[in-house]
């Protein structure tokens, strides 16, 4: 069962990450950088799924090896020793907990940001669709350290914020893992594409409104 749980978790995580990368390939070959969702989101279904489904998968594999009666007898013995129908409980866990998490995870598969030569293409969750930001319309670029919690303390989530002439805003901190420093390749690429100076602020809320167009 331990081997089945580890294999299930690894295989489903690998499949989810690979599918996310595959769907991002629809942006074409011209982008220089891609930003991916937080890596943790691809572990929720593998984790909960391995807990809820390992027992069922193990019984199925046992039966597939030509020992269906032995597997059935072991299940009945195990449920009897536990004092309740643990197999049924695990099936309900798979239906009520693992399945919804799996659905929500699948809906996150399109999420990514592609920094192309002329624009930034942001693809959001599920039905959010994709939004495009043209570098030529950027009016301000600011590097931030993170965000403030309820106590006013700055929590590290570094990113680069672009303000555009039409009032829209894009932040690299909205996608990806929490980090203390911005990827130098990202900042260098955005400086090159926008031609804007890189200003500094602690958080997105600290960017002076007077500097926005």
Domain range list for the chain = 2-107, 129-211
Distances in whole angstroms, Cα of residue 171 to Cα of each of 18, 35, 78, 143, 204: 25, 11, 53, 9, 9
What gap in Å lies between CA 7 and CA 110, rounded to an integer? Answer: 25
12, two tokens: 């489903």
pTM, 2 dp: 0.82
For residue 51, the model assigns a pLDDT of 93
For residue 29, the model assigns a pLDDT of 62
Q: Which residues of the chain have pLDDT under 70?
A: 27-31, 82, 210-213
170 contacts 120 by C-beta, under 8 angstroms: yes
What gap in Å lies between CA 148 and CA 155, rounded to an integer? Answer: 6
For residue 31, the model assigns a pLDDT of 62
Distances in whole angstroms, Cα of residue 19 to Cα of each of 11, 98, 106, 118: 12, 19, 9, 26
């Amino acid at each position: 069962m331990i081997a089945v749980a580890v294999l299930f978790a690894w295989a489903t995580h690998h499949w989810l990450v690979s599918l996310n990368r595959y769907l991002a390939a629809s942006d074409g070959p011209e982008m220089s950088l891609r930003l991916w969702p937080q890596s943790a989101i691809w572990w929720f279904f593998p984790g909960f799924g391995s807990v809820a489904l390992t027992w069922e998968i193990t019984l199925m594999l046992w039966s597939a090896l030509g020992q269906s009666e032995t597997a059935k007898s072991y299940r009945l013995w195990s449920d009897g020793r536990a004092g309740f129908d643990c197999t049924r409980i695990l099936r309900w866990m798979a239906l009520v907990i693992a399945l919804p998490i799996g659905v929500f995870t699948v809906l996150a598969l399109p999420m990514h940001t592609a920094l192309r030569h002329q624009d930034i293409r942001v693809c959001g969750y599920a039905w959010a669709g994709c939004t495009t930001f043209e570098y030529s319309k950027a009016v301000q670029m600011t590097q931030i350290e993170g965000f403030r919690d309820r106590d006013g303390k700055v929590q590290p989530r570094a990113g680069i914020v672009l303000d555009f002439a039409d009032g829209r805003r894009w932040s690299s901190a909205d996608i990806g893992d929490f980090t203390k420093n911005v990827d130098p390749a990202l900042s260098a690429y955005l400086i090159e594409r926008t031609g804007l100076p890189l200003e500094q602020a602690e958080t997105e809320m600290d960017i002076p409104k007077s500097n926005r167009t």
